[in-house]
Amino acid sequence: MSTTTTTPLPYHLTPKDHLIENSPTSKLSQKIILNLLNTKCSTSLQHLKQAHDLILRTGHFQDHFIAGSLVKCYANPHFGTLDCSIKVFDQVLKPNVFVCNSVIKGCLENNEPCKAISFYYEMVVVNSRPNKYTYPTLFKACTAARAVEEAVQIHAHVVKHGLGGDGHIKSAGIQMYASFGRLTEALSMLNDEGEESDVVCWNAMIDGYMKCGDVEAAKELFDGMLKRNVGTWNVMITGFARCGMLEEARKVFDKMPEKDDISWSAIVDGYNKGGYFKEALEIFHEMQREKVRPRKYVLSSLLAACANVGALDQGRWIHTYMERNFIPIDAVLGTSLVDMYAKCGRLDLAWRVFEKMKQKEVFSWNAMIGGLAMHGCAEDALELFLKMQGEKIKPNDITFVGILNACAHAGLVDKGLKYLNSMEQVYGVEPTVEHYGCVVDLLGRAGLLTEAEELISSMPMQPNPAVWGALLGACRKHGNVVLGEKVGKILLKLEPQNSGRYALLSNIYAKARRWDDVASLRKSMKERGIKTTAGGSMIELDGTIHEFKIGDGSHPQAKEIYLMLKRVIEKLQMEGYSPNTSQVLFGIDEEEKETALGHHSEKLAIAFGLLNTMPGTTIRIVKNLRVCEDCHSATKLISRVYNREIIVRDRIRYHHFKDGTCSCKDFW
């Protein structure tokens, strides 16, 4: 920080402004400086440093309004200069409530909720009395830090200061208690203090019930409300959707008297999270029929729906719509576009949007890094990670999921381990079970099964099913039956209803030709009433999504598709392809197995693509499960024989098939 350097007078001040140097205490100059801090300095760190310099030289620093604004400006998360903000704060003599509030808020906005709380305690010690603006921020900080004890103590201070009736404090407090699952306290906040709670507080309480899964209590509160606003309806929609009650959510949505952007986006999000992507996209058409102009949040939710089904054409259409209607592409929308393009297999377009974005938040970087990782572009992902640090964006836990995934997909064992081990020390991000899962996956893919097993036993937390699942996948890949059986049994105990686990273990047995074990596994699945997840593949054609299930005969073109597929397989067989039946789940005879394999959903989707698109165009498929070995080798051949690029997104990664090879280098 260059606070004491003697830079020439800031160039952005007109000569008239220089007069303030001679009259440092005039009200006018305070006004000018504050104006400067609130405008130019909120977007440019350079201007801010110059203004800081000016403030020091003109003796305005101990003006609490100016000092507080300076603290606020440095705390702008875009600058990554929270440390400067805190240094400035420390230099203020007897900071008043405004200065203290600025630093507390700044810490929260920079994801340092614990620091925010400790500044509050410091504030209480130096005796500057908190006001009604202090507490909503603090409650949010307690929520973010999950600081239950501090929350209760701070709540007591609120009551002591006679601020319990303030609407903002109340609603923040209700949200906080609800996030801790302490509904009794939340409810007593809603009801106490004699003063009537406003709609916002009631909405917060409904939201709290919904988040804790108490749908009945939420409904009761909703029904009992005399005055509702659009936010009330929105929390009901979001709440029902979160609990998986989409029909109820839809009913509320249809009944509400007036909808805003949040309402539309809540219903789209609900469909997205429930896996009803077609329904989510249908909302877009509905909006057009009702002549509602989609705005920021719903556009972002719609882009997420496109990303989920790989609907590139519709996604591009929405992008064009945004450009034509001059909808500014801010960090949220830009990130949604990056994510959509990356997930639809167009990394080039994702890059283009990302580079054009003026405002990038940590989640924007995460989307781009995650996209690169999924596509196996590990080097690019790691390079972007360095660039992100160069721009002083602090990585978070999700950034590291992306980085570790990038390492896993590219087999960069040493780098992956290095990042896992340095996350906490260098970046202050504590590894979670998810990060360990990524590294187990990394070691497992590289064939280092013993090391993976050792890592699991050294984890500071209980391994979750995803961690064991990663190891089981590795056992399948490398044909380790002994370890696979051990891990498989642990998983079946942890998740007796997850059909995917049975399938994986069964594959391991089948590969070892242990048909008796395959059969007994199948029997126990039947006894427990577990149904397998049907493999499904989607392909977009002219803005419509076509979905195929294994052995699906429901498509209007089914006959042509099966005929096409038959011809494709024959052609592949002339090229030396023979179906790899070792992975078929059940011990059925070879011929039947071949038919089952031959009709896997991605093969049907590819046949459909070959039938309906121009020669030479890229075929894009989205699959809900992992690609099986047989489909993988068949698709490689198809890409060569038919001279097509085929991009398949499976449950966890992308495969770019071209000229008979795949970008995953047969490592998935």
Of 306-314, 389-397, 540-548, 652-660, the window that binds Zn ion (rule: CB under 5 A) is 652-660
CA-CA distance, 128 to 565, in Å (whole number)? 77
What is the nearest approach in angstroms of Zn ion to the Cβ of residue 652? 11
Q: Does 510 bind Zn ion (CB under 5 A)?
A: no
47 binds Zn ion (CB under 5 A): no
Least distance from Zn ion to the Cβ atom of residue 382, Å: 21
Tokens at 662, concatenated = 């795949």
Distance CA 630, CA 619 (A): 18
Indicate the residue among 322 and 664 with the shorter CB distance to Zn ion: 664
- Residue 100 binds to Zn ion (criterion: CB under 5 A): no
Among 88, 46, 39, 42, which residue's Cα sits nearest to residue 67?
A: 88
Closest CA to 594 of 577, 608, 619: 577
Residue 403 sits at φ, ψ, to 5 deg, of: -65, -45
* Residue 580: CB minimum distance to Zn ion, A: 9
Q: Which stretch binds Zn ion (CB under 5 A): 3-11, 108-116, 264-272, 649-657?
A: 649-657
The smaller minimum CB distance to Zn ion, of residues 232 and 507, is found at 507
Q: Which two tokens stand for residue 480?
A: 């380790």
Shortest distance in whole angstroms from residue 536 CB to Zn ion? 12
C-alpha to C-alpha distances, 559 to 208, 550, 555, 568, 592, nearest whole angstrom: 52, 15, 9, 14, 20
Q: Select from 202-210, 274-282, 393-401, 625-633 the region that touches Zn ion (CB under 5 A).
A: 625-633
Helix (H) or strand (E) holding 549: strand 544-549
| Identity of the residue, 92 or 585, whose beta carbon is nearer to Zn ion in the bound complex | 585
Q: Given the rule CB under 5 A, which of 109-117, 311-319, 517-525, 658-666 is the region that contacts Zn ion? A: 658-666
Segment lying near Zn ion (by CB under 5 A), choices 120-128, 164-172, 232-240, 629-637: 629-637
Number of Cβ within 10 Å of residue 191's Cβ equals 11
User: In whole angstroms, what is the distance from residue 570 CA to residue 638 CA?
Assistant: 11
Distance CA 115, CA 83 (A): 11
Is the CB of 287 or the CB of 662 nearer to Zn ion?
662
Nearer to Zn ion, 518 or 585 (CB): 585
- What letter represents residue 659's amino acid? D
Complex with Zn ion: residue 631 or 647, whichever CB lies closer: 631
Residue from 631, 637, 638, 647 binding Zn ion (CB under 5 A):
631
Q: How far is the CB of 645 from Zn ion (least distance, A)?
A: 13
Decide if residue 584 touches Zn ion (CB under 5 A): no
Residue 655 binds Zn ion, judged by CB under 5 A: yes
Least Å distance, CB 546 to Zn ion, is 18
Task: For Cα atoms 371, 374, 379, give the angle at the middle one, nearest 5 degrees.
Answer: 80
Q: Whose Cβ is closer to Zn ion: residue 316's or residue 346's?
A: 346
Q: Which SS3 state, helix, strand or coil, does residue 513 take? A: coil
455 binds Zn ion (CB under 5 A): no
Closer to Zn ion by Cβ: residue 169 or 597: 597
Distance CA 107, CA 454 (A): 38
Tell me which stretch binds Zn ion (CB under 5 A): 153-161, 256-264, 497-505, 600-608.
600-608
Q: Which amino acid is at 305?
A: A
Alpha helices in 93-198 (DSSP H): 97-109, 113-125, 134-145, 148-160, 167-179, 183-191
According to the binding rule CB under 5 A, does residue 628 interact with Zn ion? yes
Number of residues that bind Zn ion (CB under 5 A): 6
By the rule CB under 5 A, 606 interacts with Zn ion: no
- Upper half-sphere CA count for residue 290 (Cβ side, 13 Å): 13
Residue from 445, 501, 600, 623 touching Zn ion (CB under 5 A): that is: 600
- The number of beta carbons lying within 10 Å of the beta carbon of residue 527 is 8
- Helices within 225-361 (DSSP H only): 230-242, 246-255, 261-274, 277-289, 296-309, 312-324, 331-343, 347-356
CB-CB contact of 381 with 419 (8 Å): no
The verdict on 664 binding Zn ion (CB under 5 A) reads yes
CB closer to Zn ion out of 353 and 664: 664
CB of 151 to Zn ion, least distance (A): 49
Is there binding between residue 569 and Zn ion (CB under 5 A)?
no
Q: Is 237 in the site for Zn ion (CB under 5 A)?
A: no
Taking CA atoms, 329 is separated from 39, 43, 291, 383, 498, in Å, by 21, 17, 22, 25, 40
Which region among 160-168, 242-250, 536-544, 659-667 touches Zn ion (by CB under 5 A)? 659-667
Nearer to Zn ion, 166 or 602 (CB): 602
Could you tell me which stretch among 270-278, 414-422, 494-502, 654-662 binds Zn ion (CB under 5 A)?
654-662
Q: Of 568 and 662, which has the nearer Cβ to Zn ion?
A: 662
Q: Whose Cβ is closer to Zn ion: residue 416's or residue 536's?
A: 536
Beta carbons within 8 Å of 243's beta carbon, 6+ residues apart: 210, 213, 215
Q: Does 662 bind Zn ion (CB under 5 A)?
A: yes
Q: How many residues does the chain have?
A: 668
Residues that bind Zn ion (CB under 5 A): 600, 628, 631, 655, 662, 664
